[in-house]
Structures are given as structure tokens and as C-alpha cells.
């Protein structure tokens, strides 16, 4: 069970537990977003949908960066990029998001090498996932976002060597 003051991931958004309350016999965590002003969430303590997760520790975040090159790539159907990506992003789990980021990075690198256009839909998802992962990892590692972004890029580059 989380404690008041804990920083958690709610649907991979950073939030802090402000208090725990009971309504109609059900306990809820009241979360305050750390990313958007005046944005709060009430999440059942039972968390059956697994939308509420622990923020990785610094060691776990570093391990994720080390693991990134060995994560599998995912299949993106070129004529259904939105559907392919949304299926993964609906999971609210960091590892599948990183696998998708790795896949998009590889596609981006191949497009640049071949002097072809990187599809706008893939570019959009790449930016969204890269930003989300760098925010989460920088908070988890207590580091500057720009430094964590460079570490993330380095791990992605190791994926294509």
C-alpha cells in the first residue's frame, strides 16, 4: 500500500499521494498531478486495473536504460500506426513503452540513413514516448532532464549497433 507523500505513476503520469479517503466503503488514493496544475485523480486502493504503479528507484531506472538495447522491437503496421502504437501505450507499463520507443528510434535512424522521410505519425509517437520516458526517468534518477535524455539516446543508439 502506498503512503501519503509517495510519488507514483498514474497511467505513467507523475503524481503524489495527498491523502487516502474512504467513500461508500471503498478506499481511494487522492493523487495530485506533478505535471499539470489543478489536476487530481482518485484511484481505488485496490488498483485492479494496474493504472497506479510505483515510481522506479534510481537503480531500477538505470537498469531500464541498460536493458533497453536488449528489449524486443515491436511490430508496427505501417498503414495502422495509430492502432499499433495505441495498443502498447494503453498498457501503462514502462518496458513495452521502451520497446516501442526503441522500434521507432530504429525506424527513424533507418529513414535518416536512407534519406527517406520518417512518417509523421511515427514521429509524433516517438516524441511523445521519448518525452514521457525522459520525464519519468529524470524524476526517478533525481537528475536533470537534459542529462537523462542524453542517457536515453545513448541507450537507444546502443540498440542499433
DSSP characters for 41-109? EEEETT-TT--EEEPPPHHHHHHHHHHGGGSPP----GGGHHHHHHHHHTT--HHHHHHHHHHHHHHHH
- Chain mean pLDDT for the chain: 94
pLDDT of 48 above 90 = no
pLDDT at 78 > cutoff 90: no
Q: What is the pLDDT of residue 47?
A: 81
Q: What is the pLDDT of residue 77?
A: 86
pLDDT > 80? residue 49? no
Provide, rounded to the nearest whole percent, the portion of the chain with pLDDT above 70. 100
What is the pLDDT, as a whole number, of residue 154?
A: 97
∠ CA 99-52-159 to the nearest 5 degrees? 15
Predicted pLDDT of residue 50: 84
Radius of gyration of the CA atoms of the chain, in A: 17
Element (H, E) at 10: strand 7-10
Give the count of beta carbons closer than 10 Å to the beta carbon of residue 160.
Answer: 12
- N- to C-terminal Cα distance for the chain? 41
Query: Residue 158: is its pLDDT beyond 90?
Result: yes
φ, ψ at 24 (rounded to 5°): 50, 40
For the whole model, what pTM was predicted?
Answer: 0.92
Residue 65 has pLDDT above 90, yes or no: yes
Res 43: pLDDT: 94
Q: Measured between alpha carbons, how far is residue 129 from residues 31, 46, 75, 93, 96 in Å?
A: 23, 28, 16, 12, 11
Amino acid at each position: 500500500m502506498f503512503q501519503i507523500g509517495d510519488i507514483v505513476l498514474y497511467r505513467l503520469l507523475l503524481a503524489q499521494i495527498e491523502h487516502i479517503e474512504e467513500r461508500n466503503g471503498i478506499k481511494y488514493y487522492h493523487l495530485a498531478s506533478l505535471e499539470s496544475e489543478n489536476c487530481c485523480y482518485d484511484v481505488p486502493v485496490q488498483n485492479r486495473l494496474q493504472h497506479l504503479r510505483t515510481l522506479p528507484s534510481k537503480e531500477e531506472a538505470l537498469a531500464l536504460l541498460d536493458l533497453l538495447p536488449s528489449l524486443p522491437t515491436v511490430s508496427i503496421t505501417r498503414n495502422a500506426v495509430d492502432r499499433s502504437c495505441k495498443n502498447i501505450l494503453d498498457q501503462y507499463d514502462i518496458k513495452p513503452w521502451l520497446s516501442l520507443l526503441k522500434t521507432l528510434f530504429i525506424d527513424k535512424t533507418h529513414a535518416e540513413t536512407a534519406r527517406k522521410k520518417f512518417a509523421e505519425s511515427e514521429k509524433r509517437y516517438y516524441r511523445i514516448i521519448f518525452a514521457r520516458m525522459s520525464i519519468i526517468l529524470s524524476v526517478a534518477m533525481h537528475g536533470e532532464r537534459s542529462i537523462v535524455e542524453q542517457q536515453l539516446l545513448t541507450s537507444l543508439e546502443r540498440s542499433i549497433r
